[in-house]
Every structure is written in C-alpha cells, then in structure tokens.
Structure 1
C-alpha cells in the first residue's frame, strides 16, 4: 500500500472515532412511563445509567395538573459520562403539550444546589427553555440544546432586564464526569407535558491511538518517498 493510501486509511480511522455513534442502536436511559417518576429531590436525584456510545434516550412526564403552586412536578436526575466518551449533543427529540415551554438546567456534580424557589443561575453550568412555542422557547423539536445551554452571556432566551446572573457556561462537548439535571415547568397545565431527550455520546480517542495511526500513515508516506528516490 503506498503512502497516499496509508494517509487515507488514517483519515478514515480517525473519522470513525467521531462518527461511530450514528451506527449504534439507541438505548433507553429511563422512561417515566415504564420506570416511574424521577426524583423530586434536588439533593437526591435519580441516578441514570452511565451514557453509552451512541444515542441514549430519556422520556420525562411533567404533571403540573394542580392549581396549587406548591405542587409543581420537579424532576431531578444525574448521569455519568464515562472517561472514554463525551456528550456531543443533547437533542429535544419530542415534546408533547401540556405547556408549550419547559425549563432544563444542568450543574456539574451529583446534585442540584439551587433551591427552585430562589435559585442563583450563576451556580448552574447552563440552562435552556425548550418546547414548541417560538415566542417562549429557543430550542424546538429536533434541535440541540447544548449550544444554548452553554452560553453565559447575550442569551436570547432571557428577558430584558433579567436580574439574575447568567450561568457559568461551557463549550460543547461535555467531557467525562457527573452531571445533575433539573427539569420543570412554571405554569399549571390541564394535561401532562411529555419530553423526550436524546443524549448523543461520542468516543474520545486515546492519545496513544491517534499517535499510532498518524505514525503508520507517516511511515507509509516516507516509505513511498524513499522508494521513489531510489529509482531516480
């Protein structure tokens, strides 16, 4: 195999690390219809299975069907991104009314530190409004939440004069570690709201693997050059 073919092989192998999830079957992390209600305790969230490479699905049901404001259905969960993966996308796969907008926040660690009655957004890693009403939500069905959640300034989803600080912010992808999530709606609804999220996890190639692939390609290239020079 000549040097050019080695280079192509290296490129294909490296690309495979990042396109791998698309070929995997989606796996369910949790389905409230089947597994029951997620925890309503921010200091003791439901711990979901670790993310696996590919698409990981979560189905949430928010029941704000009581006019009593103290009866809001708050859902808290945590998950772990293993050290060999990163979270590259968090897609709003489906959203069934109830209410046409919901709030989703993320914090680094295994709990949500903020009291929902008086939160300090500056202690959150990020958050976003999602749903089906463009006037109330910035992320709609089929879109990725992570870019908006990661913003820490010039947020299009915050009203003018918003008094609280912006979240800490981040640049996707999210790397390995524990993350806590908080999902809720603020308004009373006659019907439950159902949300399906898809967590897309991508393998992170080990540095040694990248070096080995590049080395093979370079050796092939130098071998081709040397062979060509010896014939001159």
Structure 2
C-alpha cells in the first residue's frame, strides 16, 4: 500500500523554484506524490507556467527501484506529454539540458519512468515535473524505495543464521 508523501490539494503547492525544491521524506515502500502543473497561475516552468520541484534523501541501505505513473489527467483532455527531469543532489542549477542528469516524458499510459537511471542509491535526489501545453495537468507518481540488494541479502542471511542458531539450541 502506498503512502501519500505530498498531495498538493492538502499540503500546498510544491516549490516552483528549481534552486530550492520542496524537501520530502520517503520511507521504505511506495511513496506517492500528487500534484498539478500547467497554466494554473503558479510559476516555475521556463514559459512562466507551473512546474513542481522536489527532493528527497535515500538513507544508508536504501535504493529507489521504480518511479511509476499512477495517473495523469488534464482539464483539457489534450493527452499531452509531461516533462520530468532528474538530478543527483538536492537542487537544480538551472533549467537547461546541461543542468539535468536525465529526463523523461510521460502521460497516462506510462508506467515505470526513468528506467535507465534506476536503481538510485543513497544520497540526495531532485525531480522536476512540468507541462508546457495549455491547460492544467494532474499527476500521481509513486516512488518505490527498497533495501539495497546487498543490504537485503545481509538481512536475509542474518535472519537465516539466527533461525539456524535457535534450531540448533532446541535440538542440542
């Protein structure tokens, strides 16, 4: 079950400033961000319409293995593509191609976006979502945080050793 980390209709608008994204807290499991971009009167996009910028930190032993578009709709039903960008760190230096590490387009038929940069490991990660077509667009995206494979393997090995030790004590 996904945890809603930020919902703009409840928690307020995500930052429209590329240099100071909204800080979010992600935990292990599914972390959902719900927002809206477009010509809704907020700012941040290169054309003056709304863009959303947010950042989160993955702790030691954590990894991001999927970024899934749960829904994407518009008030104009135009079906346009949304733009998203990623940068390692806690902010974007600018809005040009040289200021991002990866970008992806998505819409309501997209599933796992950014497969070429996943998994992402511990550290700061910033995302930017924007729609340049006219109208307002609403998205729901889930970021799946899991234990890093090495950490998960160590955890399973430790659990198995503990179970084996308990079994030996009962038998001995």
Q: TM (normalized to structure 2)?
A: 0.79
Q: Which ranges in structure 1 are unaligned for 5 or more consecutive residues?
A: 1-24, 133-139, 151-169, 220-232
Residue correspondence of structure 1 range 48-197 to structure 2 within 5 A: 48-49=24-25, 51-65=26-40, 70-98=47-75, 99=78, 100-115=80-95, 119-121=96-98, 123-132=99-108, 140-141=109-110, 143-147=111-115, 150=116, 170=117, 172-189=118-135, 192-197=136-141
Does the Cα contact within 8 Å between 2:64 and 2:119 map onto a contact in 1? yes
Structure 1 residues 194 and 217 mapped into 2: Cα distance closer, same or farther (>3 Å)? same
Q: Name the CA distance, whole Å, in 2 between partners of 1:217 and 1:65.
A: 57
Does the CA-based 8 Å contact 1:65-1:188 persist in structure 2?
no
- The equivalent residue for 1:19 is none
1:207 shift after superposition = 6.2
Distance 1:41 1:87 in 2: 24
Answer yes or no: is the 8 Å Cα contact 1:45–1:77 preserved in 2: yes
Matched with 1:162 is none
- Structure 2, unmatched stretches of 5+, are 166-172
Structure with more helix by fraction: 1
The CA deviation at 1:37 is 0.8
RMSD across aligned positions (CA)? 2.5
- Structure (1 or 2) with the greater strand fraction: 2
Larger radius of gyration: 1
| Cα distance change on mapping 1:48 and 1:216 into 2, 3 Å | closer
Q: Displacement of 1:146 after TM fit?
A: 2.5
Offset at residue 127 of structure 1 (A): 1.1
Q: What CA deviation, in whole Å up to 9, does each residue of 1:174-232 have, x standing for no partner?
A: 1111111111112222xx2100001111123266545546778999xxxxxxxxxxxxx
